[in-house]
């Protein structure tokens, strides 16, 4: 029994170092993938700058607010600044929303932030 414990304790620091190296390599790979997604997203957004087709306009009524604050909203990704401008202009011009805001996207039936990273929304209050 002592032999097993001794051999485990001798190899333990080596196993910790190997685990730390693998963790660092994994974190670097994930960071590179996220950076590539942002770079390609910005490039695609720049190329599609003038040809965005408007997606479905969503409507939300918040039941937990007094008066039921009603909102129109569109979703877009963080790396799409040109799409955000198009969506905000559409809310302002076509739906007569005077104040257009941006924030992290909300869950569909609740006003809690979504768990999807980098998803944003453009929204405005109805009738104001």
pLDDT digits (tens, 9 = 90+) for 15-73: 667 778 888 889 999 999 999 999 999 999 999 888 888 888 888 876 666 555 788 88
Q: Are residues 116 and 62 in the same domain?
A: yes
Q: How many domains in the chain?
A: 2
> For the CA atoms of the chain, what is the radius of gyration?
24
Q: Are residues 121 and 73 in the same domain?
A: yes
Q: Are residues 42 and 64 in the same domain?
A: no
Q: Are residues 36 and 80 in the same domain?
A: no
Binned at pLDDT 50, 70 and 90, residue 12 comes out as low
Instruction: DSSP letter for 74, please.
Output: E
52 occurs within a structural domain:
no
Average pLDDT of the residues of the chain: 83
Q: Which stretch of DSSP H or E encloses residue 83?
A: helix 81-94
Q: Are residues 68 and 42 in the same domain?
A: no
53 occurs within a structural domain:
no
pLDDT of residue 8: 60
Contact 124, 99 (CB under 8 A): yes
């Amino acid at each position: 029994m002592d032999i097993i414990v001794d051999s485990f304790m001798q190899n333990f620091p080596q196993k910790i170092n190997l685990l730390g190296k693998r963790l660092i390599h994994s974190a670097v790979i994930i960071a590179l993938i996220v950076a590539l997604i942002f770079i390609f997203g910005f490039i695609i957004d720049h190329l599609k700058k003038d040809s965005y087709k408007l997606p479905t306009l969503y409507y939300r009524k918040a039941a937990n607010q007094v008066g039921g604050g009603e909102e129109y909203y569109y979703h877009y990704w963080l790396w799409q600044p040109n799409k955000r401008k198009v969506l905000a202009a559409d809310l302002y011009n076509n739906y007569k929303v005077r104040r257009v805001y941006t924030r992290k996207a909300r869950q569909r039936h609740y006003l809690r932030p979504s768990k999807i990273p980098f998803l944003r929304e453009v929204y405005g209050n109805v009738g104001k």
